[in-house]
Chain A
Amino acid sequence: MPRNFGQVSRRRFVAGAAGSGAAIVAPAVFTGARAADELKMATFFPLSGPAALFGPTGTACTRLAVDEINAAGGIGGRKVTIVPADGGAPPAEAAKAAIRLMLRDKVELVVGSHNSAVREAIVAALKGKIPYVYTPLYEGGECNPNVYVTADTPQQQVQPSITWLARTLGAKTYYLIGNDYVWPRKTNEQAKKYIAEAGGSVVGEEYVPLGAPNKFEDAVTRIKAKNPDLVVITLVGGDNVNFNRTFAGFGLDKSIKRISYLLEELTLLGIGDKSSNGLYSAMSYFVNEKSEANAKFKASFAKAFAPKPPPLSMLGVDSYSGVYCAKALIEKAGGTGDAGRLMAASNALRYRTATGTAVMTNRHVVKDMFLAECKGTSFEIVETFKAVAHGQACS
């Protein structure tokens, strides 16, 4: 199967997956049940829409995790196969795909990295019948049965970073801009709380539609008029790129600092070195994080996808960890069939991640968080927050 995911398109990716035995060879009518010792795992990565730039890294990292797990005997002795779906589709389409995967392809496990609107749709479609591991950063509050969240929460991402920026940069006035859906809105609700606690005030807040061909000159002009100390960005993918480029194009980067809560290596590459001055990001993983485990992970990633590995980013790496989380979970619960046992097993569940091990409590994960400043097209970690609580109370 092709190892080069660098310029992978959604279709070629699917073709690749088919070649590897995840096999949608002919129209689904002809594909019946398959060998029982196979564990089918559905993946939802954005292959279309504004977040599509995250698709390839998620796909590749999952592939790597699955190949490693299969080489070591699979999950509970069963080989894992991947059935991919588009997590960048509108929520209703993703929900239909989830039902198709359950009914037709008989997947037993879902791992997804996509926006929260899609997550809510998938959760509603699955109705807790099969375990679902959700891996990217999100707004918190996901406690539905049989859903396991390895993502960063606002308590982990926003609270420490806002407090630090308010103190270190002396930021008093804040402008919030995000896409109009559940993650930016709920994250900003939290952010406003932390801003108030840090003694700052919000001078503007606006939302642009997700998935629309947005332009940002008027938003940037409004920000210019308000002249805040810090712009808090909860835009996704292409919109994040476009906003930051317009922002710097109008010369605002010289006087106004920005922090984006969904800014990893791929987005930064799109924003480019000319537009990244004074831009911060806060997440639980950066590629140039200097730990031994991370170095090892990066080496095996580079080896697996040689000679031209796709770019790495947190949104892929957390899916890698997500697959290991699923493995630990299923093995501890002794199968995928019993939601109650799975949920019980998730408490104090230890699993392997790209940077070491993690422990799950309340179906969320306590993490070390990093605050990084952009230097050209790479991140420089300026502060590390140790073992930050996730602040979620799922039973």
Chain B
Amino acid sequence: MDPILTTNILNVVYEVSTLAVVVLGLAVVFGLLNVMNLAHGEFVMIGAYCAFFVQTQDLPFLAAVPLALLVCGFIGLVVERILVRPLYARPFDTLLATWGLSMLLREAVEAIYGRGFRSVATPLTGSVDVLGAGYPAYRLLLTAVSIALVAGLVWWFVQSATGRRIRAVVNNPELAGSVGIPVTALARNTFVFGCCLAALAGVMLAPLLPVNPTLGLDFILKSFFVLVVGGLGSLVGLISGAGVIGGVESVVSAVSDRTWGYSTVLVIAILFLWLRPNGLFPRT
């Protein structure tokens, strides 16, 4: 196969799978709690800064994972308690409140680290030969880990007892509460879990991004578009949405340039929001 074509295909796969991981946490929280957490991108951003922090302390890259999970898990816990929980009945205000939260986190990180771009060293250098095309090893690893994460979560959700409980809560919160499923705790854990997933995505992506406080903004918009296109709150929707958004951006960027890629994504998102707000795979 033509090595350029191979590279382009790998680029698309990379884009789609990493996008899916970023959206994963947002989709879990929205699917289960009906809360659109507009601060999700900022949790990704904080994850990336954790990777940067670990580097400044001369610690190994992987030390960023527990640090990011701790930091974002804790913030998520506090946020769920004081911001999200009082607003479960006011979804539109949740949107505004988490949007305010996103500003707060962004500005807080800016106050600490400044507005400049930071770089995180790639933990795995060198490239691997894939069908005659050299491809960066870390990107391949990232793609693999992303696919494994999404698949693992789907499997866990379908198989485990907690997954069954969660599905019960989604289908009928009152009934679930009355049969002794701790709805409040489950909601809290779900939110924290979503934040942790974002943090993990942030750590993973940090070496390939200019780490800066506004990094989350780009992610939250694209993630939101993925959910809109795919259909809010279903896993098939998540994957197809990531496929459409990530795929289109990647392909159009390869053929033309990034500006066109991003603009095309925006147009698709607008068309979906307008004409098919329930997405490709609406939840029934």
Interface residues of B in 119-165 (CB under 8 A from A): 119, 121-122, 125, 127, 134-136, 138-139
Does B122 lie within 8 Å of A241, measured CB to CB?
no
Does A217 lie within 8 Å of B115, measured CB to CB?
no
Inter-chain CA distance A295–B259, complex, in Å, is 45
Does B116 lie within 8 Å of A213, measured CB to CB?
no
Inter-chain CA distance A267–B42, complex, in Å, is 26
State the Cβ distance, B63 to closest chain A Cβ, in Å. Answer: 20
A to B CB contacts below 8 Å, 19 in the list: A9-B112, A48-B115, A48-B116, A49-B116, A49-B117, A53-B116, A213-B212, A213-B215, A218-B250, A218-B254, A221-B8, A225-B4, A238-B117, A238-B212, A239-B210, A242-B209, A245-B122, A249-B122, A249-B127
A interface, by DSSP: helix, strand, loop or mixed? helix
Inter-chain CA distance A219–B256, complex, in Å, is 10
Q: Which listed residue, A9, A206, A250, A272, touches B134 by the CB 8 Å rule?
A: A250
Inter-chain CA distance A249–B113, complex, in Å, is 27
Interface residues of A in 206-231 (CB under 8 A from B): 206, 208-209, 212-215, 217-219, 221-222, 224-225
Inter-chain CA distance A218–B9, complex, in Å, is 11
Does A52 lie within 8 Å of B7, measured CB to CB?
no
Inter-chain CA distance A52–B118, complex, in Å, is 9
Chain A contact residue count (CB 8 A cutoff): 39
Task: Report chain B residues within 8 Å CB of A9.
Answer: 111-114
Chain B contact residue count (CB 8 A cutoff): 37
Chain A interface residues (CB < 8 Å from chain B): 8-11, 47-50, 52-53, 55, 88, 206, 208-209, 212-215, 217-219, 221-222, 224-225, 237-239, 241-242, 245-246, 249-251, 270, 272, 274
Does B117 lie within 8 Å of A241, measured CB to CB?
yes
Task: Report chain B residues within 8 Å CB of A239.
Answer: 210
Does A251 lie within 8 Å of B127, measured CB to CB?
yes
**Quick check: is B14 within 8 A (CB to CB) of the other chain?**
yes
Task: Report chain B residues within 8 Å CB of A272.
Answer: 119, 121
Inter-chain CA distance A55–B113, complex, in Å, is 13
Inter-chain CA distance A19–B209, complex, in Å, is 35
The closest CB in chain B to the CB of A86 belongs to B115
Does B209 lie within 8 Å of A217, measured CB to CB?
no
The closest CB in chain A to the CB of B2 belongs to A225
Does A237 lie within 8 Å of B117, measured CB to CB?
yes
**Quick check: is B253 within 8 A (CB to CB) of the other chain?**
yes
Task: Report chain B residues within 8 Å CB of A48.
Answer: 114-116
Interface residues of B in 1-32 (CB under 8 A from A): 3-4, 7-8, 11, 14
Q: Which listed residue, A208, A224, A245, A250, touches B257 by the CB 8 Å rule?
A: A208
Does B139 lie within 8 Å of A218, measured CB to CB?
no
The closest CB in chain A to the CB of B214 belongs to A213
Q: Which listed residue, B114, B117, B214, touches A10 by the CB 8 Å rule?
A: B114
Q: Which listed residue, A10, A49, A50, A213, touches B218 by the CB 8 Å rule?
A: A213
Q: Which of A88, A206, A215, A225 has the most CB of B within 10 A?
A: A215
State the Cβ distance, A194 to closest chain B Cβ, in Å. Answer: 25
The closest CB in chain A to the CB of B6 belongs to A221
State the Cβ distance, B109 to closest chain A Cβ, in Å. Answer: 11
| Interface residues as binary, B253-268 with A (CB distance below 8 Å gives 1, 0 otherwise) | 1100111010000000
State the Cβ distance, A49 to closest chain B Cβ, in Å. Answer: 7
Does A250 lie within 8 Å of B7, measured CB to CB?
yes
A-B pairs, top 7 by smallest CB distance, nearest first, are: A52-B116, A238-B117, A48-B115, A9-B114, A249-B136, A251-B134, A238-B210
Given A215-B258, A238-B210, A239-B210; A88-B134 close (CB under 8 Å): no
Task: Report chain B residues within 8 Å CB of A214.
Answer: 210, 258
State the Cβ distance, B160 to closest chain A Cβ, in Å. Answer: 36
Q: Which of A88, A215, A218, A219 has the most CB of B within 10 A?
A: A218
Task: Report chain B residues within 8 Å CB of A55.
Answer: 116
Inter-chain CA distance A242–B209, complex, in Å, is 7
State the Cβ distance, B163 to closest chain A Cβ, in Å. Answer: 34
Task: Report chain B residues within 8 Å CB of A215.
Answer: 208, 258
The closest CB in chain A to the CB of B257 belongs to A206
State the Cβ distance, A86 to closest chain B Cβ, in Å. Answer: 8
Does A242 lie within 8 Å of B119, measured CB to CB?
yes
Task: Report chain B residues within 8 Å CB of A224.
Answer: 3-4, 7
